[in-house]
Amino acid sequence: MNMISNGPKLYAMAAILAVPAMGAASVSAQELDSAQNEEVINVYGSPPTDLSGLAQGPDIEGFISARTGNTLQITSPDGTTTTVRVSEGTDIRGRGGLLGLGRTRLTTADLLNGLPVTVGTVQWSNSLLASRVRFSNSDLETAAMIRGATSQRFAEQGEAIEVNAAATEALRGRVANIDQYNVTGVTNVYFDTGRWNLTPSGESELCSVARQANETPNALLLVVGYTDSVGDQDYNQVLSERRAGRVVNFLQQECDWAPYRMMTPTGMAESDPLADNSTPAGRAQNRRVSVNILVSKALDGA
């Protein structure tokens, strides 16, 4: 930031030097008051469009957790945040297509909250300036969908969730109150910051819980998604729903769990944390989906 300041000290010095030459009587008090009451003028530089020659900064990987104008806040997987500015000289591209080799040149308007990004930076005026921003086109599509924040658009991208809507609604007609069920088992699978893709260990655990539930006659599954406290409420609500949807799809498509034995999945955003969100370890425990095995109390003898 470049700053030019016309402060009171400068005008006071000028007034002191002028008194011997002009005489005290010749100096107007009104003129001094006017000079000392002038406002400080700040001149802020704009980010350059030519980034060549600027010192290299760190590469940053995370997701856009906040944006004001051309200033981005990037949250890394460990929860740390970094402020980065973008300019007309920032190279912004999305990757997609076969093997992810195709790249599309995009603009700063495509840098949406919730978008996972990799950012290369240079140092400029005591701050970091993005030299390049990379992300996948599929992540951009999801971030745009979250920004729209309509359940209709989310449902259209919810893969196979709505395919089983009729069976789910029929089941809900029989399940008026969750208190009518005993929870006989709970399994949690965990996610990276801002992500909803399953890990290999998570996939293995889901099929294991499906086999366990299949051994219990009339057992149902209730899937609930959660997030940590990183990001705003609207983003976390959709992210928790997205995680729950991914788990439901995997259970039905890969673990052969019958759709009519699945209660309506739900997302709870930051609610019901398992651990303290102020630590990276605590946030990692809270980025989860809980799969609950339910058995009717009437059938379970309770």
Q: Quick one: angle between helices 233-253 and 137-148, nearest 10? A: 120
DSSP classification of residue 161: T
Q: Does the model's pTM come out above 0.75?
A: no
pLDDT of residue 178: 57
pLDDT of residue 38: 44
pLDDT of residue 296: 83
H or E element that contains 75: strand 71-75
Q: Which part of the chain is CATH 2.40.50?
A: 60-146
Fold of 60-146: OB fold (Dihydrolipoamide Acetyltransferase, E2P) (2.40.50)
pLDDT of residue 13: 40
pLDDT of residue 26: 41
Q: Which part of the chain is CATH 3.30.1330.60?
A: 150-300
CATH number for the segment(s) 150-300: 3.30.1330.60
pLDDT of residue 119: 94
pLDDT of residue 68: 82
Question: What's the token pair of residue 113?
Answer: 């909250």
pLDDT by 10s per residue, the chain, length 302: 444 444 444 434 443 344 344 444 444 444 434 444 444 434 345 788 888 889 999 999 988 888 888 889 998 887 788 999 998 889 988 876 433 445 566 777 888 877 888 999 999 888 899 999 998 877 777 666 555 543 444 444 454 444 444 444 444 444 445 567 788 899 999 999 999 999 999 999 999 999 999 998 889 999 999 999 998 888 999 999 999 999 999 999 999 999 889 888 889 999 889 999 999 999 999 999 999 999 887 766 55
pLDDT of residue 58: 94
Q: 223 near 210, Cβ under 8 Å?
A: no
Cα separation values, 252 from 170, 181, 194, 222, 261, Å: 17, 22, 24, 13, 10
Look at residues 175, 184, 173, 172 and name the one whose alpha carbon lies nearest to residue 302. Answer: 184
Strands 71-75 and 127-136 come out as unpaired
